[in-house]
Amino acid sequence: MTRLLPRFLARTHKLGVAGRHNLGCHTREIAADPALRMYGMALALVNALTAYWFLSGDLAPTMAVGADAICWPLLPVCDTWRVLDVAGLNLVFRLYGVASVAVAVLFGFRRRVVVAYAGLFALTLLKVGLLALDFRLRRNQHYMALAATSTFLLVPNKRQALRLLIVLFYFWAGTLKLNREWLSGAGLYRPLWFFSGRGVELACAYVVLLELAMVWALLARRQWLFWGALGQVLLFHLFSWPVVGYFYPLVMFGLLSLFPLCRLLRPEGHGQGDGPGMLGSLLRGGAAPATYLVAGIFSALQLVPHLYPGDSALTGEGRLFALHMFDARVLCNARGILTLTDGQTQVVDLHGRGGRTACDPVVVAG
């Protein structure tokens, strides 16, 4: 036993040194690259937007202690984690928003990158903790924002890995839209600006073309290809506003900000850069190994829903691990019959609040 203790302590020391070294590598890469520092600001502001989403959606009653909880499939005891009432949660949301803005400001100073990095890490943990309180808080926006933030915090060669990851957001979302509901326009929740009739079908088909093919020009070297693709993606999100609300397009504007930042700003000194475009090096196998690893893991997760029988657009099965994009308009009759003590019955609406999870069996069955 006395011999094992020094070995254990030595190994623990080595792990601590390695951890500090890895942390130093990440913060040095961010500090040396003005594009990454500004992107850190954008990711922090996405957290501020999330705090506003919590407050404006009046979500505290859903998350408060004593309220009925619908737990995530892999977190069946989430109700035991609820310790705050509505007032306490609303205070947490406000502090979360203020802290997010403070972290964004810190990313503006190169000498404060380490503190800003730690702050963004803490904000991410807080966000995950809040979302874990109820499955009904699930949104595709959180999935993408957390994926991008995790890559920013934990993966080297961040310029490459993040840009490819964001392009893959669109590509895999496009594969979900290869169905009759989307292509006919029947899947839209609300009318589009300036489009009706046949124009809606053409617009929906154009979105699929944009997400499957044209979005790859965001990685192109040629200026006209890049700016043309970026403009069309931004226009797509602008037109999505009346259909899906403010949260999704604003989150994506924040995530997309990396592309013009990388085009306009170069790393300082001998920092890592990949030129104005990376598509050529990516196809030739010249990108960083971490870039391919992130792309491979994310793409593998998008295949999980195909392992389940049935229509995942309706049930959401498998999409716990994958993008849960709005690709079809989900309608169902979800009711519960409650028998009271006096023998009378009462019909209870079991639909979820979220458009994509309204008919999810986890939400309906509770």
Query: Is residue 305 a part of any domain in this protein?
Result: yes
What pLDDT score was predicted for residue 324?
81
Same-domain status, 169 and 306: yes
Distance CA 115, CA 16 (A): 19
Query: Is residue 275 a part of any domain in this protein?
Result: yes
Are 61 and 86 contacting, i.e. CB atoms less than 8 angstroms apart? Answer: yes
3-state SS of the chain? CCCHHHHHHHHHHHHHHHHHHHHHHHHHHHHCCHHHHHHHHHHHHHHHHHHHHHHHCCCHHHHCCCCCCCCCCCCCCHHHHCCCCHHHHHHHHHHHHHHHHHHHHHCCCHHHHHHHHHHHHHHHHHHHHHHCCCHHHCCHHHHHHHHHHHHHHHCCCHHHHHHHHHHHHHHHHHHHCCCHHHHCCCCCCCCCCCCCCHHHHHHHHHHHHHHHCHHHHHHCCCHHHHHHHHHHHHHHHHHHHHHHCCHHHHHHHHHHCHHHHHHHCCCCCCCCCCCCCCHHHHHCCCCCHHHHHHHHHHHHHHCHHHHCCCCHHHHCCCCCCCCCCCCCCCCCCCEEEEECCCCCEEEEECCCCCCCCCCCHHHHHC
Say how far residue 185 (Cα) sits from the centre of its chain.
Answer: 25
What pLDDT score was predicted for residue 322?
86
Same-domain status, 163 and 307: yes
What pLDDT score was predicted for residue 271?
47
Q: pLDDT over 70 for what percent of the chain? A: 82
- Residue 190 pLDDT level (bands cut at 50, 70, 90): confident
Given a cut of 50, whether residue 9 has pLDDT beyond it is no
Residue whose structure tokens are 């951890």: 19
Same-domain status, 357 and 285: no
Are 325 and 139 contacting, i.e. CB atoms less than 8 angstroms apart? Answer: no
Partners of 345 in the β-ladder? 339
What pLDDT score was predicted for residue 225?
95
Query: Is residue 66 a part of any domain in this protein?
Result: yes
Query: Is residue 260 a part of any domain in this protein?
Result: yes
Same-domain status, 168 and 294: yes
Same-domain status, 179 and 77: no
What pLDDT score was predicted for residue 313?
66
Same-domain status, 167 and 239: yes
- Per-residue pLDDT tens over the stretch 132-155: 999 989 999 999 999 999 999 999
- Residue 345 pLDDT level (bands cut at 50, 70, 90): confident
Which range of residues forms the domain containing residue 232? Answer: 156-317
The last residue of one of the domains, among 104, 138, 172, is: 138
- Per-residue pLDDT tens over the stretch 255-282: 999 999 999 998 876 444 455 678 888 8
Same-domain status, 268 and 306: yes
Same-domain status, 21 and 127: yes
Query: Is residue 56 a part of any domain in this protein?
Result: yes
What pLDDT score was predicted for residue 46?
98
Work out the average pLDDT over 77-95.
95
- Per-residue pLDDT tens over the stretch 278-313: 888 888 998 999 999 999 999 999 999 888 777 766
Q: What are the C-alpha distances in Å from 220 to residues 51, 105, 148, 236, 285?
A: 35, 31, 20, 19, 15
Query: Is residue 325 a part of any domain in this protein?
Result: no
- Residue 102 pLDDT level (bands cut at 50, 70, 90): very high
Query: Is residue 271 a part of any domain in this protein?
Result: yes
Q: What is the model's pTM?
A: 0.85
- Residue 18 pLDDT level (bands cut at 50, 70, 90): very low
Distance CA 326, CA 214 (A): 20
Given a cut of 60, whether residue 231 has pLDDT beyond it is yes
Work out the average pLDDT over 115-121.
98
Task: Please name the residues in contact with 247: beta carbons below 8 A apart, sequence gap of 6 or more.
Answer: 49, 53, 139, 141
Are 102 and 119 contacting, i.e. CB atoms less than 8 angstroms apart? Answer: yes
In this structure, the dihedral spanned by the alpha carbons of residues 318, 322, 328 and 334, taken in order and rounded to 10 degrees, is 40
Q: What are the C-alpha distances in Å from 327 to residues 176, 217, 263, 299?
A: 6, 23, 31, 18
Distance CA 47, CA 92 (A): 13
Given a cut of 80, whether residue 85 has pLDDT beyond it is yes
Same-domain status, 214 and 311: yes
Task: Round the average pLDDT of the chain to a whole number and report it.
Answer: 86
Same-domain status, 300 and 162: yes
Dihedral pair phi/psi, residue 345, rounded to 5°: -115, 150
Among candidate residues 143, 176, 174, 109, the one with its CA nearest the CA of residue 255: 143
Same-domain status, 99 and 47: yes
Locate 335 and state its tokens.
């009711």
Distance CA 216, CA 212 (A): 8
Task: Please name the residues in contact with 365: beta carbons below 8 A apart, sequence gap of 6 or more.
Answer: none
Domain count along the chain: 3
Query: Is residue 7 a part of any domain in this protein?
Result: no
- Residue 68 pLDDT level (bands cut at 50, 70, 90): confident
Same-domain status, 35 and 122: yes
Q: Which has more confidence, 360 or 173?
A: 173
C-alpha gyration radius of the chain: 23
